[in-house]
Amino acid sequence: MAEDRTPQDADKYIVRFPEGMRERLKNLAKANNRTLNAEIIARLQASFAEPAQDVDRDAAIASSTAEAMLKALDRANEHGKLLLKKVEAIEARLIQPEGASLFKAGTPRVR
């Protein structure tokens, strides 16, 4: 039967992180209120998650991304409508009846 181990007796493994990864992990650990070690363990455990959990997580991410994109498209559509109204107003001021001049009398014209 396995003996109870203290944290000091736990398996230890030295890892060489690529440039910048340790700092990223430290920042994520701080944001998640974990130690660096706890963050690494949590991420390793998550990588062993059942595929069904991954599918559910991916579906949730896709759903929220799609929702955010639809909102952004709605905002863009509203901005486009406002822009079109402004362009139409400018066109209405620029388009003169045939024979009418866009320039006031006495205004020099550029050739």
What does the pLDDT read at residue 64?
85
The predicted structure's pLDDT at residue 62 = 87
Residue 8 has pLDDT above 80, yes or no: no
Whether the predicted model's global pTM rises above the 0.75 cut: no
List the chain domain ranges: 12-48, 50-94
Structure tokens at 6: 């203290």
Average pLDDT over residues 1-9: 64
Residue 22 in this model has a pLDDT that exceeds 90: yes
Q: What is the dihedral of CA 70, 74, 80, 81, to 10 degrees?
A: 150
Whether the CB-CB separation of 25 and 40 falls below 8 Å is answered with yes
More confident residue, 8 or 12: 12
Which CATH number among 3.40.50, 1.10.10, 1.10.246, 1.10.1220 corresponds to the domain 12-48? 1.10.1220
- Tell me the average pLDDT of the chain: 81
